[in-house]
């Protein structure tokens, strides 16, 4: 149970770079706006392959 509590904490996975980090709820709009802006400015290139599943 102690291991589950320790390794289940959000900071445990973020410290190991298993995700892109934790967003402060007060900054959710700013992060979302920045993400959408970056996504809309990127060109979509033609490819010859399908979706890569991880």
Structural domain count, the chain: 1
pTM: 0.55
Q: What is the pLDDT of residue 42?
A: 76
Q: What is the pLDDT of residue 47?
A: 81
50 domain-assigned:
no
22 in Cβ contact with 10 (< 8 Å): yes
17 domain-assigned:
yes
14 in Cβ contact with 22 (< 8 Å): yes
Q: What is the pLDDT of residue 3?
A: 93
Q: ∠ CA 44-21-4 to the nearest 5 degrees?
A: 130
53 domain-assigned:
no
Half-sphere exposure of 49 (CA within 13 A, CB side): 3
Q: Which domain holds residue 21?
A: 2-39
Q: ∠ CA 51-53-54 to the nearest 5 degrees?
A: 145
pLDDT averages per 10-residue partition of the chain, 54 residues: 91 91 94 92 81 76
């Amino acid at each position: 149970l102690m291991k589950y509590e320790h390794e289940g904490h959000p900071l445990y996975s973020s410290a190991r770079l298993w995700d892109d980090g934790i967003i402060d709820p007060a900054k959710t709009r700013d992060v979302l706006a920045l993400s959408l802006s970056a996504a809309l400015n990127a060109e979509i290139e033609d490819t010859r392959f399908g979706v890569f599943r991880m």
